Structure 1
């Protein structure tokens, strides 16, 4: 479990740095937003190109994909029911769905897969599902929600291919499928800029923690409990059930899909929420609470399944 706990410690340290720079007023609210937008429009697309170019797209069609989809579907469908009952707008519903189903598969999932599970490739189905399906769909719905007027079908279909994160994802997958290597003068700057994405997300998140209301005070507690409960309980349970009863996975694969489904909400959900100004405090608090809960959850899962 050293890889799991080490990943959490690294994230906590960088978020703590963000809290510090917000506390000493080195970065104010406007600077925090600028940092988030820089991560959204520049650094994250560069990171997606370089990471996905090295991936194996065939991994997404493994049995792990079915269990991953089952976990995400259980959480998102529950959020849809909750949104209807509470009258949430489309944007808030999309952000809440991301909070409950979009796991931190990048900067936490990769070390967990490598050190706790012994194979970094195990996180590939989660990464590709999120980047190729969940993210483009969520961004399209958020674009529709923010549009001042009714969007035509053509504009709706064009939105995903004009979004910087989707463009970065598409280019990365195209490079991987065609086994194409970027020229060094292109690869090196992309890698350098992409390396800024995760630290920028975490620091911006830490600044938001310091400058905004304390976690749990900016959103309704019942909504926060529901979203985090679906993320940390419903999603891993659904993934486990699909892996065991539908796919008949062996013990190692079952442990892998359950543990990865119990990862906390990804930090880039906060960046997306900030970009579209929907559910920002909900995203911030869900990331915080789910990250705090993730280490104990991982220990419990390991004790039961490892």
Structure 2
């Protein structure tokens, strides 16, 4: 009798996640985003939220929780109840780079986050104020080498590609820029247009009009391949940079413990949105976000990708000699 009771209890416990998924969602689902609403990929995430609202018949609401290099929003997501009513959407900087730089974080991305889906890669460009006396990345390096700590470069705190690039150039080539930290990429780009700083990085899609109007000039693509938006613009590798350039990806997560069926349903619907006609052109490519071989894949495939991604970021931080804080 006692064994039968224990077995029945185990069956009930095993059925709970499934029951959670069957009844989910029964109320508003929030999507915590540890980034500013001005982020280049914010529009894509809002399109996902709108699509999920239509599919599931309950509101999916974005909640931007910027600050502390994404740690504030990441902690809020990690410590939420694993009931499926809090999801997270963030980037490589929060999940892969922060742990390589900060010894103490209020969240552990491996322990606290369940990967849902990879939704794209943010393609960025090295851009400069038109007054800068360099028209290519090679010329930029020559200018900075001849004028140590004089060429100003807007970065977005410790966990931005700009910070890694400046650290790599100083450690590997002895080239020193003057880094100027800004709260987010939009502020850094605006400062570059205004001439407050000379160089920065920014998402490609949103700056094409400013490049065409002459308010900015492009020096190199950050990613591993040229873009259809600017096919004549070489990549950093083509310009001679020997630094490994990790992908600045965007992905969706849930707090660990959320039912796998819920994760599977969100994965399936978001993948459908990504594959839908016109979505990539309107909400991804126009904002500098592109799909790669991992975009729209399974949760397990995303988890496997993350392991490799974390290792790559850790190698770059180690090569720079950046001490964990």
Q: Which has the higher helix share?
A: 1
Q: Which has the higher strand share?
A: 2
TM-score by length of 1: 0.26
TM-score by length of 2: 0.25
